[in-house]
Amino acid sequence: MTDVLSGKRDASEWREKMGYQDITFEKGTVFVVTGGAGFIGSNLCEALLDMGCTVRCLDNLSTGKYENIEHFMGKEAFDFIEGDIRDLETCKQACMGVDYVLHQAAWGSVPRSIEMPLLYEEINIRGTLNMMEAATECGVKKFVYASSSSVYGDSTELPKREGQEGRVISPYALTKKTDEEYGRLYKELYGLDTYGLRYFNVFGRRQDPDGMYAAVIPKFIKQLLHGETPTINGDGRQSRDFTYIDNVIEANLRACKADSRAAGEAFNIGAGGRLYLIDMYEQLCNALGVEVKPNFGPPRAGDVRDSNADISKARKLLGYDPSYDFEKGIGLAIDWYKEYLK
């Protein structure tokens, strides 16, 4: 997996920077990226280093991979702390002298959270609370954190709009909903500028295609490239707002530049589209030049049926304007996996 996850050449070759080329930070601006060895975190680290920022990556490598950050090691502007966000002192050490925190560290996967709710509470709630507390003590300017579209739970409203959430249907979703409440309170009570980003089905380079909890796009791409038959859970008519990684990078950077009056809020971060899983699968097959009929399995417990983001709030308050729709993003993702899944 080393070559798959880290790449044989700089991943900036795969990135056009369309969505955030206008964003700048003063040279020497210091960022902490928690979960920085993971899929989203490592892409954020790379984007910030390319912009001339100093990056401190905090990760315990429980789900992140050293291979994702190995090519940053040795850079003067990059520092890796192998540590756990469940330890408050580690969080304080990471936040000392820092301007911005991009908090991505968490355990994902709805099915896994149903199996291990206590661990999810420890990592996703207490770990996030530790980071907010450390950021407050250390005088961090902005605290941007990963939330999730799963907070909409059983709401059938489409598109999904902030303020129209239903009942959460998984422990993972509950952890993210709780994080958002702490984000609001830390702004109101302690003056920490927090911005929650509700990610909608992120995909792209460095997303791990392996393991029983792998996300659907990298998993399907790998299986199709290797002549295997993917399994779609459910009837394939469930829909998602698949969001390319560079849109997520843009959202994090724009949140760092957002007005303090927008702090304490949560924002939908998607592409603003809606695609049925079976249609996504057919697009993958067409792009790869294969004809493989999928298998169909039972629906997964805790999964929402439909997802489509209304991104008007993020457009208005963060200036978020995603450059990548699904077609453009999946083309770049497939090119990357073809190269690194050899």
* Residues recognised as catalytic: 172
Tokens standing for 149? 């579209």
How many angstroms separate the first and last alpha carbons of the chain?
10
CA 42 to chain centroid, in Å, comes to: 10
Euclidean distance between CA atoms 5 and 11, whole angstroms: 10
Are the C-beta atoms of 163 and 180 separated by less than 8 Å? Answer: no
Are the C-beta atoms of 146 and 106 separated by less than 8 Å? Answer: yes
CA 131 to chain centroid, in Å, comes to: 17
Angle value at C-alpha 150, between 185 and 127, nearest 5 degrees: 45
| CA dist 212 → 26, 47, 59, 134, 216 (Å) | 42, 29, 22, 34, 10
Sequence-separated (6 or more) residues with CB below 8 Å from residue 139: none
User: Which of 275, 249, 256, 319 has the alpha carbon at shortest distance from 14?
Assistant: 249
Sequence-separated (6 or more) residues with CB below 8 Å from residue 94: 32, 34, 56, 58, 81, 83, 134
54 backbone φψ class: left, alpha, beta (φ>0; ψ -120 to 50): beta
Are the C-beta atoms of 73 and 80 separated by less than 8 Å? Answer: yes
